[in-house]
């Protein structure tokens, strides 16, 4: 019997070397960073800017602007099948989408600013819906391009590129913009004494204009410098493994979502300044980058190990944030007024950022491990779409539930006793931007009273969700290890079909 000698790969050959593909890595980070700019505005800064003008229900309505990112699967086959050969399969979409985003920012910026100032939640939501739609479609193309730009040895690091890039864009549009838009921050750090102003140094309109120009310049550079080398989706969704993973992705963040989404708003209601929150987020940014690299390396072998660590930590921190919000000193605007409370808040934010990035990068590595490269970006888009649905769809109902469970009453500020003879809805959720609500609120003021919260819906909603998240954890511990042990054939529709033909 002849013995066939199979050459073994050396340890050096098995190790991914990103240094060999640094230009592709930089291009991917840049593209994901550009996507993070509108997402950082829509999911970060805009709810903060709207909070002073609108109700939680209006903020929940604005969350609809993020829906394109959750339902991009619906048009991902189009992105993967239609292209202009001379421009390239992926750049046929990336280049025009980014140029379209630039035009929306440049031409629509003044209108968005006016609608925000007027408290027009529907108008602002519609404008950002378009921006997120363009970014979501671009994400489909970039996900597919990542599988082609990186070699098989390095493709697992595509999720690291996505995490780092998205965090950079999100950081610019959330932390940096929110700080530069806040008058208190600018007066304290950027303006000389005697030159204080009631406005920040950068308006929303100006920020959109800047990125509109930057989009055009960077898009043309990518188009000039970087060259490029759907019917299966229903079959993929029908796979038992994919269906099980889909349930995991939809429910896994329900436990911490209410606390993470609304805690910052509750702190603003207690008097914390936007400037202080912006500084705290600034501290979190380095941790996001470090944890992305750590998770990228940790997740190469067993991606669910760091994911479980991140989940447990994140759920516990969400529970702690509820107590921190409850007992945070009322009226403490700046760090010097309550150093211990703000230090605790900073530590909580850093730890939450670490755990969130750990989960995101680890699950991204698992996506790249199981995805079928023959389907391009459609497979990754499918998984990301399902995961995003688990965040964007519940958010509207979470904020609406908080508003519905919150009760307010007009009371005498001196005695805290209710003032009689007033309508039941004299203290609405928010008076800004709503004429009827403003009139009702004014009745309380004219009677010499103030609107006091009798029951805050944040606490019951967030508390029940933490308990739900703990129950979900037990189910996840029994489900995820089995998914990780499945062969690639269980995740690839074509591979399963070919196997059936040969059996």
Contact 41, 128 (CB under 8 A): yes
d(CA 233, CA 247): 17
Phi, psi of 422, deg, nearest 5? -115, 155
DSSP 426: S
Query: Using CA atoms, how far apart are residues 227 and 414, in angstroms rounded to an integer?
Result: 71
User: Which H helix or E strand runs over 410?
Assistant: strand 407-411
Burial (CB count <10 Å: 0-12, 13-18, 19+), residue 113: middle
Alpha helices in 299-376 (DSSP H): 304-327, 339-370
381 close to 139: Cβ distance less than 8 angstroms: yes
- Give Dmax over CA atoms of the chain in angstroms: 101
The reply to whether the predicted model has a pTM over 0.75 is: no
Q: Which tokens belong to 105?
A: 């920012």
What tens-digit pLDDT sequence spans the chain (503 residues)? 333 333 344 334 444 455 667 778 888 999 999 999 999 999 889 998 998 788 888 888 999 999 998 888 888 888 877 766 666 677 788 889 999 999 999 999 999 999 999 889 999 999 999 999 999 999 988 888 888 777 777 777 888 888 899 999 999 998 899 889 988 888 888 887 777 788 889 999 999 999 999 999 888 887 766 554 344 677 788 889 999 999 999 999 999 999 999 998 999 888 888 778 877 777 777 766 776 776 667 766 677 888 999 999 999 999 999 999 999 988 877 777 888 988 899 889 888 888 888 888 889 888 888 888 777 677 888 898 899 889 888 988 999 899 889 888 888 887 778 887 777 667 766 544 444 455 556 778 777 888 888 889 999 999 999 999 999 999 999 998 889 889 988 998 753 334 333 33
């Amino acid at each position: 019997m002849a013995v066939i000698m199979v050459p073994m790969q050396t340890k050096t050959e098995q190790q991914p070397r990103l240094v060999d593909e640094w230009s592709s890595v930089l291009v991917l980070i840049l593209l994901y960073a550009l996507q993070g700019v509108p997402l950082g505005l829509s999911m970060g800064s805009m709810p903060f800017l709207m909070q002073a003008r609108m109700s939680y229900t209006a903020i929940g309505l604005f969350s609809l602007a993020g829906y394109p990112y959750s339902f991009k699967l619906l048009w991902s086959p189009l992105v993967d099948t239609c292209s202009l050969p001379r421009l390239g399969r992926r750049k046929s979409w990336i280049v025009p989408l980014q140029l379209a985003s630039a035009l929306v920012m440049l031409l629509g910026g003044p209108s968005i600013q006016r609608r925000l100032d007027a408290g027009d939640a529907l108008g602002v939501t519609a404008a950002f819906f378009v921006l997120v739609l363009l970014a979501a479609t671009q994400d489909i193309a970039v996900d597919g391009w990542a599988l082609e730009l990186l070699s098989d040895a390095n493709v697992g690091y595509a999720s690291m590129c996505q995490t780092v890039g998205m965090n950079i864009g999100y950081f610019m549009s959330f932390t940096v913009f929110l700080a530069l838009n806040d008058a208190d921050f600018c007066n304290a750090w950027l303006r000389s004494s005697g030159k204080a102003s009631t406005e920040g140094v950068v308006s929303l309109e100006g920020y959109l204009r800047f990125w509109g120009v930057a989009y055009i310049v960077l898009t043309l550079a990518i188009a000039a410098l970087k060259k490029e080398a759907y019917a299966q989706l229903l079959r993929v969704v029908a796979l038992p493994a994919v269906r099980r993973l889909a349930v995991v992705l939809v429910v896994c963040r329900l436990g911490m979502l209410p606390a993470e989404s609304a805690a910052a708003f509750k702190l603003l209601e207690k008097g914390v300044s936007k400037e202080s929150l912006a500084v705290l987020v600034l501290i979190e940014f380095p941790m996001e980058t470090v944890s992305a690299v750590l998770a990228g390396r940790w997740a190469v072998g067993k991606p669910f190990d760091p994911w479980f660590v991140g989940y447990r930590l994140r759920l516990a921190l969400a529970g702690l944030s509820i107590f921190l919000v409850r007992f945070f000193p009322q009226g403490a605007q700046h760090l010097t007024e309550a150093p211990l409370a703000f230090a605790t808040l900073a530590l909580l934010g850093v730890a939450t950022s670490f755990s969130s990035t750990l989960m995101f990068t680890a699950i991204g590595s698992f996506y790249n491990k199981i995805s079928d490269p023959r389907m391009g970006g459609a497979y990754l888009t499918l998984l990301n779409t399902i995961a995003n649905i688990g965040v964007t769809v519940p958010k509207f109902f979470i904020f609406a539930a908080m508003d519905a469970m919150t009760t307010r009453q007009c009371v005498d500020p001196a005695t805290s006793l209710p003032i009689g003879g007033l309508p039941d809805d004299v203290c609405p959720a928010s008076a800004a931007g709503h004429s009827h609500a403003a009139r009702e609120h004014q009745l309380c003021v004219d009677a010499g009273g103030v609107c006091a919260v009798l029951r805050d819906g944040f606490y019951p909603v967030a508390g029940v969700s933490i308990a739900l998240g703990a129950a979900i954890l037990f189910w996840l511990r029994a489900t995820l290890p089995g998914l990780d042990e499945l062969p690639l054939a269980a995740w690839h529709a074509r591979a399963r079909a070919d196997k059936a033909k040969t059996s």
